[in-house]
Amino acid sequence: MSLILLVDDDDLFRKMLRITLVKMGHKVVEARDGKEAINLFKQKLPDLVLTDILMPKFDGLETTHALREINPNVKIVVMSAGGGYSTDLLNMGQQLGANHSMRKPFTDQELTATLAELLSEA
């Protein structure tokens, strides 16, 4: 069982994804933005971070960069439904250090495969 930090400003999406992750057997801590995520990351030391890109206060790109400086080995997945800019944002997330990117909406199967791949590398 892994500890996952889930970062998304959309309360409903975050709740639904948390339920899915818990059903998969993971423990989940949640943050609504990057600032909150960085504080929780330092306290909880999760195995993997799932972060939205487009968020107020401190977006997922800034969060990815900051987390890489704190722990170069943490597994990070960036997510975005950012319309026409989604591909560019996801690519930037990977350039800043994310291990993987996922375009919203994604299936439970896509999520399971991504997490299995990244967590097996841990």
Q: Give residue-wise pLDDT tens across range 37-89.
A: 999 999 999 999 999 999 988 999 999 999 999 999 999 999 998 666 778 88
Q: What is the pTM of this model?
A: 0.95
Find tokens 């890489």 and name the residue: 68
For residues 85-106, average pLDDT: 91
Mean pLDDT of the chain: 94
Residue 28 confidence class, pLDDT cut points 50, 70, 90? very high
In the predicted model, is pLDDT for residue 4 greater than 80? Answer: yes
Do the beta carbons of residue 50 and residue 5 sit within 8 Å? yes
Q: What is the pLDDT of residue 30?
A: 98
DSSP symbol at 53: S
Q: Where are the beta strands (DSSP E) in the chain?
A: 3-7, 27-31, 48-52, 75-80, 100-103
Q: What is the pLDDT of residue 117?
A: 96
Which two structure tokens, joined as six digits, stand for 87?
């591909």
Of the listed ranges 37-41, 54-58, 106-110, 113-117, the least confidently predicted one is 54-58
CB neighbour list of residue 97: distance below 8 Å, 6 or more residues apart: 64, 65, 67, 68, 76
